[in-house]
Amino acid sequence: VNMCKNSPCMNNGICSQSDAHGYQCKCSPGFTGRNCQTDNNPCRPSPCQGKSTCFAIRAHTYRCQCPQNRTGRICETHLNLCRISPCRNGAKCINSGLNNYRCQCLPGYTGKNCQINTNRCRSGPCLNKANCSNVQPDSYQCHCQPGYTGKICQTDLNSCRSHPCLSDGTCINTRANRYKCNCRPGFTGKNCQRDVRECDSKPCKNQGSCQEIMGGYSCHCTDGYTGRHCESEIDECNSGPCYQNSTCIDKVAGYQCQCQAGYTGQNCQTQINECLSQPCQYGGTCIDQIASYYCQCPSHVTGVHCQTDIDECRSFPCQNDGECINVLGGYQCQCLSNFTGQECQSDVNECTQIHLPNTNIKPCQNGGTCVNSFGSYYCHCPPNYTGEVCQQSYDICESEPCQNGGQCVVESTGYRCNCSTTDYKGNHCQTGRIDYIL
């Protein structure tokens, strides 16, 4: 038996045969139950009020989207419509009962929300100083100034008013909306917009390059030439580039300076320093001059370049028979053995010199006293010694200096005569003694 024959499935459900239950319903979205008899869409029927829209979220759950004049869960509460400012162009909104309002328009506006502009001239649609007049709501008319036409006076009948002629060309009106340009020399075209190619005639001379410019040409001259057509050679000597009275020789694109003696450089601006070659010898100082120099010599040399040594020995600087030897830049004195100093001017104190090499023996021997003298010395010998350096011993009493039987006694300072055993007295017992008896 076909159980689907009687259409048991509701709400557009699809019926299919089933061995277990006889039939089975495949329900449309939002419906359930054996026969799709249960509606799961919470928005059927819509619970939302006042032309609001119901949105099903899930089974038994929905949301109401309210119009501007309602609020609440199901849009059950009426709102003040003036809160949303429906009136335009500065109009005043007045609530006029439940779910309604009225706009009080400013002059020049109309419509439910004062959205229609009845004064179309307010926006200034007419161009070129034309006068505007409102002819009916939402319409206007432009009254054009002389020389203009069009709905908003946008068309200029004086074609030259817009200055169509370029490059200082002169504009002439020929008829309405027509003109002609009289171009200056060097320009052509309807609006004098094209430059005539003057360079084709090769006006630049002396290999100058020609460059087209607006309304003419310009010559870029090679070095050494000037003038509108590079026809004149530049005399670089006119600026007086050469210093120190040197001679300037003009050349193409340059010049040459012939310098006076003592100067060098492109413009003869540099004085030649003749001292750079170091011409002065033996410590001479070179003083540079214009085109020359001179050497300032030390005292011991002379000559143009201080090349000649002065013989200082000619002035006999060595004293005390010292021998003078001339050397470069000075002299040397070879002194006798008993003189010293640069010029042998100092006496050698022989008494302080060691007489014998490698010994400490003084000049005077045997206790003799050395007495220095200029250029020499002499020895003061003790008793019983004699000789140049007291080198010879002798018996001072051998010459019997004591007279009249006096006894000679040797002492450290010499000898003395002992006259006590005689009737004489004196250093040598030479004077008779006179005794007085009282």
Each residue's pLDDT tens digit, 83-92: 778 899 889 9
pLDDT in tens, 216-235: 789 999 988 999 999 999 88
Average pLDDT over residues 310-318: 88
Instruction: Tally helices (H) and strands (E) across the chain.
Output: 0, 44
pLDDT tens-digit readout, 335-379: 988 888 998 998 888 787 655 444 455 788 888 888 888 878 888
% of residues, the chain, pLDDT over 90: 34
Q: For the chain, list the domains and their CATH numbers.
A: 14-78 (2.10.25.10), 199-233 (2.10.25.10), 236-271 (2.10.25.10), 274-309 (2.10.25.10), 311-348 (2.10.25.10)
Q: What is the pLDDT of residues 385-423, one digit of tens each?
A: 888 888 888 888 888 889 999 999 888 777 899 999 898
* Predicted pLDDT at 60: 76
- Say if residue 241's pLDDT is above 70: yes
The answer, yes or no, to whether residue 147 has pLDDT greater than 60, is: yes
Above 80 in pLDDT, residue 68?
no
Tell me the pLDDT of the chain averaged across its residues. Answer: 86
pLDDT attached to residue 29: 82
pLDDT digits (tens, 9 = 90+) for 126-140: 998 999 988 876 788
User: Sorting pLDDT into bands at 50, 70 and 90, what band is 176?
Assistant: low
Residue 293 has pLDDT above 50, yes or no: yes
Mean pLDDT calculated for residue range 258-286: 92
Quick check: 194 and 212 in contact, CB under 8 A? no
pTM for the predicted model, two decimal places: 0.30
Residue 436 has pLDDT above 60, yes or no: no
Query: Contact at 8 Å (CB) between 57 and 47?
Result: no
Query: What are the tokens at 150?
Result: 């069009």
Q: Inform me whether the pLDDT recorded for 437 exceeds 50.
A: no
Judge whether 259 and 268 are in contact, CB under 8 Å. yes
Please report the DSSP string for 332-398 in residue order. Answer: EEE--TTEESTTS-EE--GGGS-SSTTS---SS-TTPEEEEETTEEEEEPPTTEESTTS-EE--GGG
Q: What is the pLDDT of residue 171?
A: 92
